[in-house]
Structure 1
Amino acid sequence: MKRLRFALVLTLAFVLSACQALPMSGPVTQFERDIPDSESLVLKGFGPVDGSAPAVIVRDFLRASAAGWSDDFQVARTYLTEEATKTWRPEAQVQIYSDDQTPNLSADDGTVNVSAEVDGVVTPDGKYDVQSKPARVQLDYELVQDENEQWRINDLPDGVLISRSSFHAVYTLASVYFLAPDMNALVPDPRWYPGRRLASYLMQALIEGPSPEIAPAVVSAIPAGAQLPLQQVEITGGRAEVQVEGETLTTRAQQSAFKWQVTSTLMQVPSVSEVSIRNNEISLDDVPVPSGPTWAMDTTVGISEEGLVLDDGAGPALLTPIAEMGDDPRDPTIGPVDSSPLAFISGDHLVGVHQSMAPRTLYSHKNLSRPSIDRLGWIWSTVGDQIVVANLYTDEPVELASPWTSGDALTRIAISPDGARALLVRGGENGSVWVTAVKRSTDGTPIGLDVPTRIEVGAGKLIDASWAGNTSALTLLQGSEQRQVTIATFASMPETLRAPNDANRISGGATPQAILLDSGDGTVYQRSGA
């Protein structure tokens, strides 16, 4: 059994905010929750047994189809009539049921009904649709007897029904990378694809473009009219050979951006150690790729009795004396890159500061929410139903309207480290959490938000929300008896951890393994274990 823990770290007596876990030591108190280990599975199908009744044929077909990605569904098709073999599309969807559930089969002459509670669906483009609660599906299979009086399936629904453990044995989560509008960062678009031929699936997804949820926040350097001549990526000795036909990229900037997308996407494949790309027979092997942002998500910031304190791993350093921070300074935060500014709320003022600058008031209004800073240095806050975005180096803040024109008030906004997504919190104790794409101009200036999608975080009083990496939303809730953290990764089932009951703020690092909980009295909890 795995154990998920929050370690109690006794810190200096100041309130901390961080993008990643605190590199500190001290006495540890563990808060644990047991979860079962996933067993390693080797899936192998077998053909129909002579004399099997219709219900047995369907049961064994479901097992063979769950193993179908290893043999292109050849064994599964032996359960079908010739007509059904031609029309069945196993790739249409993958319906996933929990390991503690078993599909129910009922037979009536030549018809077999399969009933199962499905809590996730994967579409052909690799998108994982998490059901807010398990939905019972009814699948009907019509069977006929062949010339040897053996039952075979003649009519069946497209797709595959599979258990969660079997799904994880054959599918792999990977990101398809697109570009931020300023072309200086990659934005992940997480997908699930079969581990077999994973490189080919990922390359085809790059060509087809971003999913609708993230499309408004990204651009792509993939050539117009791009296609893979053989519809696959060849891997030999760890080297992925990518041949893309279509528009010829003529400038170094175009070639570099294209190579950056392709290389970063395909290097996630376990069997790939290098990528060679040709665009219409033009080799890009000597084209350099951008270095991308210099992330600094282990830096912490806090307010002590002396003032604004920054800790980049070398120990706390006073950045701004308390006398220069105004009235009632609170809610300090810092951005995710090494050149990020800092921000805090002082009375009714949103204040920004950089290590080389004195504090500057960026916006003034009552009830400003805790600020959030993106990789480009834009500082975000909310006032009622308005979103305020300010920058230390511009004269006027950007004011964006809430995506909603009625309903619960907008009370918090948190921007993902890459700046492509926003978490929106609406309402008070019974509030809701939403995610949306951030629209920007080519220089990175925010210009709007796309239509938000609600994130299911479970029942309870909503206390706080934040990010872990670019695709996992963290929420801190007060349940009926225990506070809890919900990790909602956009391509997976939510994960819930027990949290200390005095925690009142949450922040995360590059992954959901780096979660920080703050009690507000100098006590900080850090997730440990896997």
Structure 2
Amino acid sequence: MIALLGCGVVLLSACGSMPVTGDIKAVDASQPGDSQVQVYAVAPRENATPAEVVDGFLESMTSDDPGFRTTRKYLTKEASRTWKPSAFTTVLSKAPNRSPRPVRDSDRSSTELTFTLTGEKVATVDAQSAYQPVVPTGFNRSLHLVQQNGSKEWRIDFVPDGLLLGQSDFKRLYRSVNKYYFATGPAADQSTLVADPVYVRNRTDPITGMDTVTQTIRSLVEGPTNWLRPVVDSRFPTGTVLRKGITALAPDDRNVLKVPLNRKADSVGQRSCRMMASQVLYTVRDLTSARVEQVELQRSDGSSLCVLGSGQAEEFAPDGSSGGPDSQYFVDDNGHVQRIPGSTKGSGDPEPVAGPLGDGPVRMSTVGVARDEQLAAAVSQDSASLYVASVVSAGELPAPAVTSRAKKPEDRLSAPSWDGRGDLWVADRNPHDRRLLRLAGGTGEPSNVRVPDLGGARIEALRLSADGVRIALLLTEDGHTTLKIGRIERQGDPDTRQDVSVVELRKAAPQLADVTAMSWSGRSRLVVVGKEQGGVQQVRYVQADGSAPASGVLPGANQVSSVAAADDEQLPLMADTEDDGIVKLSPGDNWQTVLKKGSSLVYPG
């Protein structure tokens, strides 16, 4: 047995550093644990058995071992030299299982062995720190051991690159952070920041020796992840990196974060520098215990390149404004659109909107409101027609902007959604003419949006992100409805006819067999309603990259049919339920009924 250094706790080959006060308890690296627990690797004991070498190596990978120096002691010299733990990370549902007995080489059975590692693979994290979930699938990998010449010591002489971690260890060792880049493409607001989620190491990265803030800024400066890269841009000049030797960055006693850059950034203009600083400010503002109020970028000689305060950064806010819309809208029992005024957190008295959607002749079923709250789009009660009208001034109801020819209401139009660029989106679910449609500015002619990866799936529902470069889709295929996120790519002149497509669909809630409702909730998070295989309905948060936060499951509500969340995560979550009507969930509270009657409650967007 190997003793925990300085703690008096016994583990096989890894141990945790504990607080100097309070109770002491054993730490099993394969069990869920506090992210503040630091685990140290322990070198293999003399004459360790082959099984102990494999177990020790696997446990050591879950440690905070600097440079993985101790972890490499389980490998032969050549394997230690070539192994690249930072290449990628494979995440299993649980810690890997080792075969109880090794397979011996038929020719040299006394000096060579192979162990098999198995498990259920749920995700990978690539060299860019981008998380990619996969449908849970069987995992199988081999570790080959040799008995080294001149000794009886067993060592691993073949190990694939990367780390192999159970889900609980991954959540303990890593945290999700949002990097920010600027939206690009025709008609893009070049000052709109887009969240790019990645996973960085808690505390110190074993390979680089960098703390969490420095890792995050390094990743930011290196550029966006491959999935997001086609639709965003960084203001950091190509080749910009942190000044050599920088491993720790923290705000000073005035909450100013100083970021030293190399000479590639020395001649950047003030406008570009301020945009670079805004990328840093929004990226790190939730990473430090003291909130960063100001970012100072420095040249290679240490002189100040530019300074940006949090107030000045509001022009680059990812949601397009300092606060974002906080009114809610819904369809009442008479099929008219009503508004719950903002700043009431869902508790104000509803009032009909101005214009034909508030008192017009056509009964509506669902509604979507533009983010500037000037226009709204509503689908008729039979789901056949989409109408667009002002909600701030009177007028006649215009002719339908989109009409579905499907025979059944459930095969007609989805609920509409507006993106952050002011465009309106809706899906026609007609089995004979399925279409994803976009109306530029909400009033243009509907144009077809290509979705090359759709295959035979049908779009049941859609929601656009505030940044306008991502779309969440509920897709039905083979009897199941799943949530996928697509990247929106635009080509051509926005003043004429733009070619718009949704590409590289990726699963955002692979742990749920069926998703019945969803909404964006913040900059890279969604709230979803769904069921695991054979489970009951649950309401939970998921990240746009498909990962699930540890505290993602929310209090249950009865028979939720739709859900609405705002860009501002402090605003209440709203839901339509069969038994309790429209309900809300404020941070730290339980579900409360807002309206007994009404449906299709939404925030602008």
TM-score bracket for the superposition, by shorter chain length? 0.7 to 0.9
Task: Show the 5 A alignment for 1:183-198.
Answer: 183-195=190-202, 196=204, 197=210, 198=212
Which residue, out of 405, 417, 437, partners 1:388?
437
- 1:449 corresponds in structure 2 to 501
Mapped to 1, the partners of 2:94 and 2:535 lie a distance apart of: 27
- 1:313 corresponds in structure 2 to 343
Amino acid aligned to 1:523? G
Contact 1:242–1:278 at 8 Å: present in 2 too? Answer: yes
TM-aligned CA distance change 1:418 to 1:331, over 3 Å: same
Contact 1:130–1:492 at 8 Å: present in 2 too? Answer: yes
TM-aligned CA distance change 1:413 to 1:457, over 3 Å: same
- 2:560 corresponds in structure 1 to 503
Mapped to 1, the partners of 2:44 and 2:218 lie a distance apart of: 34
Task: Show the 5 A alignment for 1:441-480.
Answer: 447-455=499-507, 457=510, 463-477=516-530
TM-aligned CA distance change 1:340 to 1:442, over 3 Å: farther
TM-aligned CA distance change 1:450 to 1:297, over 3 Å: same
TM-score relative to the length of structure 2:
0.71
TM-aligned CA distance change 1:170 to 1:48, over 3 Å: same
CA drift of 1:120 comes to 2.4
Amino acid aligned to 1:376? R
1:280-333 deviation per Cα after TM superposition (whole angstroms, max 9, x unaligned): 556233355343222435421123368432221342333236664331122123
Contact 1:468–1:514 at 8 Å: present in 2 too? Answer: no
1:147-201 deviation per Cα after TM superposition (whole angstroms, max 9, x unaligned): 4533233332222222322222221211121112222321111111112222333
Mapped to 2, the partners of 1:401 and 1:153 lie a distance apart of: 50
Mapped to 1, the partners of 2:538 and 2:396 lie a distance apart of: 36
TM-aligned CA distance change 1:48 to 1:130, over 3 Å: same
Identity %: 20
- 1:374 corresponds in structure 2 to 419
TM-aligned CA distance change 1:408 to 1:493, over 3 Å: same
Mapped to 2, the partners of 1:409 and 1:98 lie a distance apart of: 30
Question: Please, which moves more after superposition, 161-170 or 390-399?
Answer: 390-399
What is the number of equivalent residue pairs in this alignment?
493
- 1:350 corresponds in structure 2 to 387
1:224-258 deviation per Cα after TM superposition (whole angstroms, max 9, x unaligned): 33233416454256444331432555443322211
Compute the RMSD of aligned alpha carbons. Answer: 3.6
CA drift of 1:415 comes to 0.5
1:354-392 deviation per Cα after TM superposition (whole angstroms, max 9, x unaligned): 435657647131233211112232221123533332355
- 1:93 corresponds in structure 2 to 88
3-state SS of the aligned residue for 1:452?
A: strand
CA drift of 1:62 comes to 1.8
- 2:54 corresponds in structure 1 to 58
CA drift of 1:133 comes to 1.0
Contact 2:236–2:265 at 8 Å: present in 1 too? Answer: no
Contact 2:528–2:541 at 8 Å: present in 1 too? Answer: yes
Mapped to 1, the partners of 2:338 and 2:305 lie a distance apart of: 46
Amino acid aligned to 2:392? Q
Mapped to 1, the partners of 2:557 and 2:287 lie a distance apart of: 38
Question: Please, which moves more after superposition, 226-235 or 380-389?
Answer: 226-235
Mapped to 2, the partners of 1:101 and 1:234 lie a distance apart of: 33
Compare relative contact order (CA 8 Å, sep 6+) and give the higher one, 1 or 2: 1
Which residue, out of 277, 287, 304, partners 1:283?
304
Mapped to 1, the partners of 2:415 and 2:328 lie a distance apart of: 16
TM-score relative to the length of structure 1:
0.80
Question: Please, which moves more after superposition, 166-175 or 37-46?
Answer: 37-46
Mapped to 2, the partners of 1:481 and 1:83 lie a distance apart of: 48
3-state SS of the aligned residue for 1:44?
A: strand
Amino acid aligned to 2:416? P
Question: Please, which moves more after superposition, 488-497 or 176-185?
Answer: 488-497
- 2:162 corresponds in structure 1 to 159
1:4-23 deviation per Cα after TM superposition (whole angstroms, max 9, x unaligned): xxxxxxxxxxxxxxxxxxxx
Structure 1 unaligned spans of 5+: 1-35
- 2:364 corresponds in structure 1 to 329
TM-aligned CA distance change 1:106 to 1:179, over 3 Å: farther
Mapped to 1, the partners of 2:167 and 2:440 lie a distance apart of: 46
Contact 2:491–2:500 at 8 Å: present in 1 too? Answer: no
Higher share of residues assigned strand: 1
